[in-house]
């Protein structure tokens, strides 16, 4: 028995000695090996003309602003292909590289409010490949995971499938380069489009914290496109607000493991601009709003009645986002924003504003207790995976059979309306500014989705789209009649037997 005890003690001593040796090696390795660079200028060394850059951020939220400034200082770097959800603003973020004419092609989902981006695209100075937002996120995620292609419902029946979306205009407005048709395949009776993975020569991303091994942690909604981009660059360069010692970041709080990151810097300065600072309004402030805004609130207050207790709902940019301020306090609704928030709250008060918390419209928002933040690829996985009960989004036109046109740039709407089990509610003014109807027999604008709309809520009425039959007038706004709706609608419709003024 004594011999057995001595043998056990000896084995234990050898195990402890081996563990201590390995621990010492790990500490020495972490101290001697570092991916930390001194400056953004040093970190971008090697980037050259013609490279493809994957650039994280959403609007101005979570953009690698110091790395972008460094590239803007390098006028020798030209003919860049930039993969980014959008291009920031005309004077900040990726927009500065447009101003300096360093970008040849943008691969984006949305032109947005960047007037210089629009001007160069429409003027034939810039190639722009527009893709649905979720498709970009998944193409980049797939590229980083070594998956060459995948199939998706997003874009079926639209120009994404058939091709022909202008990529490059000529000086006189003629289309010189356009998108190509997608390969399709039928699974379980439904048509899907094939999309190829995207990788880049370099990925430029921004995180909140990082260590010298390249481990990254994001803050709130600033994860967005940064997370998938970080995995898909041949060389990934990360800038962070704070460098922490190796070991300070706990293994279960790291969002991007250092294996994906090749260079890391502490950003020299941060402005962290908010593209659309939006604050919560009081009831008195609402009464002082212009009539056009009161009309939008009138529509969205009716839309808020669509919420049911326990629902998971996405609110599109523009008018639908306002619905978060009119949820019945007696129910719980989990609001999802496609840039990576679940449990989104109302607009903030001045002391609640955080540049890392914006919605899909780039407006400042809050997150409710129990809410979560995640990356864009995870967000669109929820959408495509039919986890949402309902989507409320804006519209430019809706046809009598439920076809939707709502894009000036593809954005995330195509992904949202392609989810077959999610109810789609469109909110919009009944007529355009010139008085022409926006509800038509056939859409005249490019399609966002085919036969995807379930309900239309306007300032005048509520229509349901009945499959294989057309529109059914369900409700009237106060002061409207069936005849007034007929006069302002561009297609025939049926009238429900119990139609009444309800809002």
Q: What does the angle CA 125 – CA 53 – CA 133 come to, to the nearest 5 degrees? A: 80
Tokens of 299: 């529509």
In this structure, the chain runs to a length of 503
Q: What Rg value do the Cα atoms of the chain yield, rounded?
A: 26
Q: Which of 140, 316, 324, 320 is nearest to 226 (CA)?
A: 140
Helix axes 376-384, 133-144, angle to 10 degrees: 110
CB 338, CB 412: distance < 8 Å: yes
Interatomic CA distance for residues 393 and 429, integer angstroms = 12
Q: Which of 70, 128, 116 is nearest to 90 (CA)?
A: 116
Is 338 marked active-site? yes
What is the H or E stretch that residue 484 is in? helix 482-487
* DSSP symbols for 259-293: GG-SEEEE-S------TB---PPPHHHHHTS-HHH
Sort 142 into a burial class: Cβ within 10 Å, 0-12 / 13-18 / 19+. buried
Interatomic CA distance for residues 59 and 111, integer angstroms = 10
Interatomic CA distance for residues 377 and 225, integer angstroms = 7
What number of CA atoms fall less than 13 Å from residue 119's CA on the CB side?
9
Tokens of 83: 């993969």
Catalytic residue among 138, 195, 239, 338: 338
Task: Report residue 142: phi and psi, to 5°.
Answer: -65, -45
Tokens of 123: 């003027």
Termini Cα distance of the chain: 88
Query: What number of helices (H) and strands (E) belong to the chain?
Result: 13, 26
* DSSP symbols for 398-438: EETT--EE--SS-TTHHHHHH-TTSEEEEE--SB-TTS-BS
What does the H/E/C string look like for 424-435?
A: EEEECCCECCCC
Interatomic CA distance for residues 347 and 42, integer angstroms = 39
Question: Which residues are catalytically annotated?
Answer: 338
């Amino acid at each position: 028995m004594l011999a057995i005890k001595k043998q056990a003690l000896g084995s234990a001593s050898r195990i402890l000695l081996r563990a201590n040796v390995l621990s010492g090696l790990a500490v020495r390795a972490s101290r001697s090996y570092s991916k930390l660079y001194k400056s953004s200028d040093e970190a971008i060394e090697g980037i050259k003309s013609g490279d493809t850059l994957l650039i994280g951020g959403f609007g101005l939220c979570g953009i690698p602003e110091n790395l972008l400034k460094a590239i803007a200082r390098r006028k020798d770097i030209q003919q860049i292909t930039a993969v980014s959800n959008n291009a920031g603003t005309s004077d900040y973020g990726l927009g500065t590289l447009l101003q300096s004419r360093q970008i040849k092609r943008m691969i984006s989902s949305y032109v947005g409010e960047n007037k210089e981006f629009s001007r160069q695209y429409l003027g034939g100075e810039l190639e722009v490949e527009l893709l649905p937002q979720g498709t970009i996120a998944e193409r980049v995620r797939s590229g980083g995971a070594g998956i060459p292609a995948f199939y998706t419902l997003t874009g079926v029946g639209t120009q994404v499938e058939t091709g022909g979306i202008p990529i490059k205009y000529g000086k006189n407005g003629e289309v010189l380069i356009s998108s190509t048709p997608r390969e399709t395949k039928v699974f379980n009776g439904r048509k899907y489009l094939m999309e190829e993975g995207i990788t880049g020569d370099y990925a430029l991303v921004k995180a909140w914290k990082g260590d010298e091994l390249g481990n990254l942690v994001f803050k709130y909604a600033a994860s967005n496109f940064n997370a998938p981009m970080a995995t898909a660059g041949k060389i990934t360069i990360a800038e962070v607000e704070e460098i922490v010692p190796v070991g300070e970041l706990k293994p279960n709080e790291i969002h991007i493991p250092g294996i994906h990151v090749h260079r890391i810097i502490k950003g020299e300065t941060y402005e962290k601009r908010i593209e659309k600072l939006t604050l919560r309004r009081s009831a008195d402030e609402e009464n002082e709003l212009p009539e056009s805004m009161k009309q939008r609130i009138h529509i969205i207050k009716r839309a808020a009645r669509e919420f049911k207790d326990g629902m998971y709902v996405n609110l599109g940019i523009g008018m639908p986002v306002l619905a978060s301020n009119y949820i019945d306090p007696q129910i719980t609704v989990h609001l999802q924003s496609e840039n990576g928030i679940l449990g989104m709250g109302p607009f903030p008060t001045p002391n609640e504003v955080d540049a890392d918390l914006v919605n899909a419209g780039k407006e400042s928002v809050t997150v409710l207790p129990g809410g979560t933040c995640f990356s864009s690829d995870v967000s669109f996985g929820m959408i495509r995976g039919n986890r949402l009960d309902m989507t409320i989004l804006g519209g430019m036109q809706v046809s009598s059979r439920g076809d939707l046109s709502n894009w000036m740039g593809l954005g995330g709407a195509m992904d949202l309306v392609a989810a077959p089990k999610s109810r789609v509610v469109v909110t919009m003014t009944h007529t355009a500014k010139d008085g022409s109807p926006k509800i038509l027999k056939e859409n005249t604008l490019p399609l966002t989705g085919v036969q995807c709309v379930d309900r239309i809520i306007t300032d005048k009425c509520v229509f349901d789209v009945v499959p294989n039959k057309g529109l059914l007038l369900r409700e009237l706004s106060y002061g409207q009649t069936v005849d007034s709706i007929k006069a302002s609608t561009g297609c025939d419709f049926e009238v429900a037997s119990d139609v009444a003024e309800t809002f």
